[in-house]
Chains A and B, each alone.
With several copies, the nearest count.
Chain A
């Protein structure tokens, strides 16, 4: 089983030089720690920044410089600030190459639910609906099952939808999956996890072809 850091580390292998990337809150944020040396990745923060850098040094926090998670951050050389309309403009126009976000549920047709649990407090969708409706390439980073052990990879989402048929790839603690017309295609297994265990914990259609590689770190 992968740790959260390993999920992020595995997703970082999808990065290519020059990509513009939007990372959601939680595990996706950790992906920034695993950008391969020598590779330039430009992080977009949807509140209005390109070239997001690391947290500021103690004492250098600037309340006017935060990311979409409201954390104090820095900007790297070559970055830029802009308003929220342009920020979502570049997202909708497909200029952001990769979006990584968390999810409560993903359906085997790529539907995603990650913004609301009816009956509980609703915090709002923030920019998630814009991102999933627009991004060319969406990778979901999440645990394979919820706390009760129920699969989060489903034949159909049960929670309110965030976006339809948009997820391209999922990295969970158990494996890596492409969303295909035939369902979740298992690409890689986490170290020590068997195809059978994955099959047992995947409620949606699972496609397994030939030998499935075991990830190594």
Chain B
């Protein structure tokens, strides 16, 4: 049994044109930087990317947009991104916007083997178009489906050789949810440790969900909005 890969290139070697990928992270926080760099290098195209955000012009998924590797983005918020805007307006890029909680939950449900569920988010809005509306206890809900992704690419703080993952602070966000949802899940970690070094009570993603893991390098961890206060 060996889940450990040498680097991002090897861990994503079989990602092909036209595949559906999940990419963890919220904004630029907790994104799989190494995997994104490897995807850019590999140049695979026509990808559908499920990710809460689309990065910024020159970092994160923005790098893949610049190379026009993405056919469709499924996100909740695509923020400020000039190249994204250009491709969207020109029709080069298809975008499906869905509520953030629905996005998160559709990932989780894939990992929990639940094909569909009901949520109130989006009732009465554009998001409800074409969806089943159902009333429970006097309130309307939409039926939403679990996602189906070929690969999930996630970033963790620590991981072990069995694929167990621990996330740090708000860099957790969508990562453990997508880790559960990929047909193949690739995890890049800041620190890869031998099995047995992580406390089994503190593992956020059990190794059963993770197929490939590698020690990431050169994390830039860019900050989008640096806000600070002065010392008194």
- A192 contacts partner chain B, Cβ-Cβ < 8 Å: no
A162 and B227 form a contact (CB under 8 A) = no
Which B residues from 169 to 215 make CB contacts under 8 A with A?
A: 169-177, 180, 194-196, 200-201, 203-204, 206-209
- A47 contacts partner chain B, Cβ-Cβ < 8 Å: yes
User: Which stretch from A83-91, A147-155, A170-178, A199-207 is at the chain B interface?
Assistant: A83-91
A133 and B121 form a contact (CB under 8 A) = yes
- A7 contacts partner chain B, Cβ-Cβ < 8 Å: no
Contacting residue for B29 out of A58, A70, A91, A130, CB 8 A: A70
Contacting residue for A61 out of B177, B200, B223, CB 8 A: B223
For B151-171 the 0/1 string (1 means CB < 8 A from A) is: 000000100111010011111
A90 and B209 form a contact (CB under 8 A) = yes
- A181 contacts partner chain B, Cβ-Cβ < 8 Å: no
- A34 contacts partner chain B, Cβ-Cβ < 8 Å: no
Knowing A58-B230, A85-B107, A93-B112 touch, does A64 contact B168 (C-beta < 8 A)?
A: yes
> How far does the alpha carbon of A127 sit from the alpha carbon of B75 in the complex, in Å?
11
How many chain A residues touch B (CB < 8 A): the figure is: 72
> How far does the alpha carbon of A87 sit from the alpha carbon of B76 in the complex, in Å?
15
User: Which stretch from B10-18, B35-43, B61-69, B123-131 is at the chain A interface?
Assistant: B123-131
A72 and B175 form a contact (CB under 8 A) = no
The 6 closest A-B pairs by CB, nearest first: A92-B113, A77-B196, A88-B101, A78-B195, A130-B101, A89-B112
Instruction: List chain A positions with a Cβ less than 8 A from chain B.
Output: 17-18, 20, 40, 42, 44-51, 54-67, 69-73, 75, 77-96, 111, 116, 121-130, 133-134, 160-164
